[in-house]
Chain A
């Protein structure tokens, strides 16, 4: 029980990071972006590339940090991967979504995002192979925290949870204390009014993609660090991340954070009653429950069609 709970909290922190960007994009551009979760894959794989590059260039940095399997090179790579992924999100918007947004409705955007997801995922497969990969070939040993009830925690897991919380706190500060944060909230509330007040909408759209891409990249690397990376990484996160945004209410950053933890913990605890094969379906059941009980989510506005 306690083990499932702890694992659920960890997965939850990764889902939360992914859901923040999605909820912002869904709120600002008003479409369900099915290609968004592929950014986790892009992030995870670009960190892998940077890690290998750095390890070859500066071998002495390829050392583990304390008890973690995380190396200095990988921690630099995370930051680089966040930049690359943010940039790819902007490029994708320029190439596809912006052009469709100008000519067609939000449903065409949803449709296009399915196509984009399919292309991205399979380009990753072609480039890196079907096989799952690890950042570090060494086995990361778990530490026995208690025997009864049995609780095993890897140092990496503690690091990931801490890092995720730090990223969320940084985002909170940016959104509540900076001009950028204010203009962002203004656009999300009322795009027309914000534009009249001198906020450049196109710049805000770019910044949301950068922000979302960066956070997703971190989520992807964190998942890879505590599990493994495979071309299906993005696909496996599509539904959990959507469920988190729906639980929290579309457009609510804090809702997305809470939603991510709820989805992660619920999926973890479901292992006590359901065989693990059903775990992928858990987010769907959560979505159904939200639809029944509170369709606009915990913190969302009542947005009907």
Chain B
């Protein structure tokens, strides 16, 4: 019984951490129409930043300053934000393709940095040893697992509430305005470049929060944790849940993580021994098929974006067209 509960707690902690990253991506893609092809870099910046600042001292690397957990987490988040600010500054003015390519590039550059800068990141063997936050309060491992889950869920709820308020604020409306029709938004005095950059940095910082929680949970991070597949998983979570809907984003995170864990378990148990080294490939094909299949058959996701109708009853548009393609030139 205890084993079951502690497994569920472990599962939910991971799913909730991913859900936070998906919420960050939703601000990018769902609400602003920004393509982030390097989620893993911002997640990783949060993870490594937190680890370097808050980890245990280690003679072989520069980091391990052992700062208090929340301070270290904040540092990781700031690092993710700074990375996003630099990339965003160079690309948000240009064709949307450039952001996609640059963010993809950031992820590759970040990975080669983590693999090679041994003095900072420990190279391929990674960084190990993170004092468990609030461990002093509880001695029991089982209770600790539940407590950490409660903490992650609290962060998830806070991020959710914060984002819901943000997207309903004038700022959020301006984001959707530039997503739908940049020229119209510009004519109303909105500055698309600044709005996009702000949204890009905030979303990336949220991904940094997820990364920071991830390392404090595992007390370990290596380039293996930041494989490109993580970006795809988070993308799949968002597209399944529903871009432009924060509840959908959270739902998608739990569903995809459940499907990923279950498929991994089934393959490990039932696949022939010779096939075992290819189970990863099968899971990757599943994730890719989920992405392509959703885009083809249900692009709005399970929980579509709820469109607020503020003016007349005739201001409707088909759901799921939440990309820059729909330029509504009609006057309402």
Contacts and interface: CB of A to CB of B under 8 A. Distances in A.
A238 to B, nearest CB: 7
Contacts of B188: none
Interface string A234-261: 0100110011001000100000000000
Interface string A269-284: 0000001011111011
Interface stretch (B61-69, B99-107, B308-316): B99-107
B96 A281 contact: no
Given A111-B295, A284-B109, A287-B105, A118 B94 contact: no
Interface in B243-294: 277-278, 281-282, 284-285, 287-292
Contacts of A122: 281-282, 284-285, 288
A94 interface: no
Given A105-B325, A108-B323, A304-B95, A34 B291 contact: no
A110 interface: yes
Contacts of B287: 115, 118
Interface stretch (A82-90, A95-103, A155-163, A200-208): A95-103
The DSSP consensus for interface residues of chain B is helix
Contact of B291 (A104, A115, A277): A115
B108 A107 contact: no
Contacts of B102: 284, 287-288, 291
A242 B101 contact: yes
Contacts of B285: 118-119, 122-123, 126
| Nearest 9 pairs of A and B residues by beta carbon | A105-B325, A105-B323, A115-B291, A284-B105, A118-B288, A277-B116, A119-B288, A281-B109, A32-B97
A295 interface: yes
A194 to B, nearest CB: 21
Interface in B201-258: 228-229, 232, 235, 239
B113 interface: yes
Interface of B: 29, 33, 35, 37, 90-91, 93-98, 100-102, 104-106, 108-109, 111-113, 115-116, 182, 228-229, 232, 235, 239, 277-278, 281-282, 284-285, 287-292, 295-296, 299, 320-321, 323-326
Contacts of A117: 288
A114 B93 CA distance: 23
A107 B33 contact: yes
Contacts of A123: 285
A292 B102 CA distance: 13
A107 B96 contact: yes
B232 A106 contact: no
Nearest to A276: B116
Task: Determine the main DSSP class of A at the interface with B.
Answer: helix
29 contacts: A107-B29, A107-B323, A107-B324, A110-B96, A112-B292, A112-B296, A114-B232, A114-B235, A115-B290, A115-B295, A118-B229, A119-B285, A119-B292, A122-B281, A122-B282, A123-B285, A126-B281, A126-B282, A130-B277, A130-B278, A235-B228, A239-B101, A239-B108, A242-B104, A280-B112, A281-B105, A287-B105, A291-B91, A305-B96
Contacts of B33: 107
Nearest to B105: A284
B238 to A, nearest CB: 10
